Amino acid sequence: MNPMRILLAGLGVLLTASLRAEIYELPPEGYDVVGAVATVLAREEDTLIDIARRNGLGYHDIVRANPDVNIWVPGEGAEVVLPTRFVLPPGPRRGIVLNLAEYRLYYYPEPAVGEPAYVMTYPISIGRMDWETPLGSTRVVSKVKDPSWYPPQSVRDEHAADGRPLPRVVPPGPDNPLGRYAMRLGLPGYLIHSTNRPAGVGMRVTHGCIRMFPEDIEYLFQSVGMNTPVRIINAPVKIGWFGDELVMEVHPVLEDAMAEGNEELVAADIDVDTGGGATDETEIPAQPRDPRTYVTEQFIAVTGDRAGRLDWDEVEVLIDRSDGIPAAAGMRIKNAATSAASQ
C-alpha cells in the first residue's frame, strides 16, 4: 500500500462525517500531531485548487505537496497528495492561533463539560509583503454578518492606479471582498473575513487581513465567541511529539518586508467600532532567519520536560523539502543521563 495513503492511527483522527473534515479531536498528553496524510485521484475536470478546497487546504498547501502535478490540469486519475497531517502550533491551545508561515488558522473551542477537546483548522490568506499581517496577541472584538466595506484611501488609490476604481463604500453583496462574514480583531483595521475570490485562499494576497473560504468562516463565525483570544505567530518550523517520536513540519520562511504603510489600515475595512481601549500587543514582523534557528528554538521548547534527540540529517532533508508534510526527525531519550554519559 502507498505509505502516503490515509493513516488512521486512532490519534488525531478525522471525526465522523457528521462534522466538518477540518475538525480533529485533540490528542492525549505526549502527542502534538493530528490528522493523517492521504491521497486522492483527480477527476477530469479538477484543478489542484479545486481538490485543495474540497479537502480543507489552501493554494500553497496543495502545490508544495504535489510539485510534479500540473496545477491547472492534473489529469484524470492523477494521484494527488493531501497534506492533512498537522503538528499543532507552539503555545497555549486556546482560542484562535494564526500561523502566518503556514497560511493556517487553528481554533480551540472550549469543550463542554465531560466532552473531549477539539481543534478546528482552516487555510487562510495573509497580508502581502507591502501590507503585512502583524504578529502579536489580540482578541475578537466584534462579529458582523453581511458587512459593508469602507476601503482606506490607500487601497482606493492602488485600485485607481490599476484602472479599477473603488467607491467609498462597497455594500454587502457579490462584489464585496469581505464576503458574508467578518470578525474584527482588537488590532485596528484587521479582520478575519470571508471573500468573493476564494481562489486566493492559501496565498499572500491581502491588505493585511485574514481571508478564509466562505464555507469555512461561516462555520467558524458560529463557533467563535466575543473576546476569544487570538495569537498571530510566524512559525515556519513546528516540532511536536508523537509518542516517542519527534515530528517536524517545515514551511518556507516568509520573506518579510518592514510593514511600512500598515498604519493606514486603521481606516478599517468595515464600519464597526472596536469599542476603544483595545490595548493588544503587536510586533513588527522580523526579518527572515535561517530555518535552523527556528528548528533549534522549537526543539528546546518541546524538550523542556522530556529529553529528545534530533536526527540532523533528516532535519536537513525536511528543510530542503519545506513542503509542510510532517515527518519523524528525532526521538525521545528515555534515559538522558545514561545517553549523555555514553557519548
For the segment(s) 23-37+84-332, the CATH number from 3.30.1330.40, 3.20.20.140, 3.40.190.10, 2.40.440.10 is 2.40.440.10
Query: Could you tell me which residue, 29 or 50, shows the higher pLDDT?
Result: 50
pLDDT of residue 287: 57
Given a cut of 50, is residue 11 above it in pLDDT? no
pLDDT of residue 180: 96
pLDDT of residue 169: 87
Sign, CA torsion 249/252/257/261 = negative
| Domain coordinates in residue numbering, the chain | 23-37+84-332
Mean pLDDT confidence for 14-18: 37
Beta strands in 261-315 (DSSP E): 281-283, 308-310
Mean pLDDT confidence for 68-72: 97
Catalytic residue (choose from 60, 159, 207, 209): 209
The DSSP letter of residue 42 is: P
Query: Could you tell me which residue, 102 or 4, shows the higher pLDDT?
Result: 102
Average pLDDT of the chain is 84
Q: 74-88, 166-180, 266-280: which has the highest mean pLDDT?
A: 74-88
Given a cut of 60, is residue 170 above it in pLDDT? yes
Mean pLDDT confidence for 19-43: 89
- Of 92, 141, 143, 85, which Cα lies nearest the Cα of 117? 92
- Output the CA–CA distances (angstroms, integers) from residue 307 to 32, 119, 128, 236, in the order listed: 15, 27, 39, 23
The DSSP letter of residue 335 is: S
Cα–Cα distance, 324 to 318 (Å, whole number): 9
Is 207 part of the annotated catalytic residue set?
Answer: no
What angle do the packed helices 291-302 and 312-321 form, to 10 degrees? 130
Mean pLDDT confidence for 97-120: 96
Is 60 part of the annotated catalytic residue set?
Answer: no
Catalytic residue (choose from 60, 193, 207, 251): 193
Contact call for residues 104 and 188 (beta carbons, < 8 A): no
Given a cut of 90, is residue 342 above it in pLDDT? no
- Of 123, 270, 290, 85, which Cα lies nearest the Cα of 204? 123
Beta strands in 194-297 (DSSP E): 204-206, 210-211, 229-233, 237-242, 245-250, 281-283
Contacts of 342 (CB under 8 A, 6+ apart): none
Contact call for residues 233 and 24 (beta carbons, < 8 A): no
Contact call for residues 266 and 282 (beta carbons, < 8 A): no
- Of 314, 319, 259, 328, which Cα lies nearest the Cα of 290? 319
Give the cell for residue 90.
Answer: 507552539
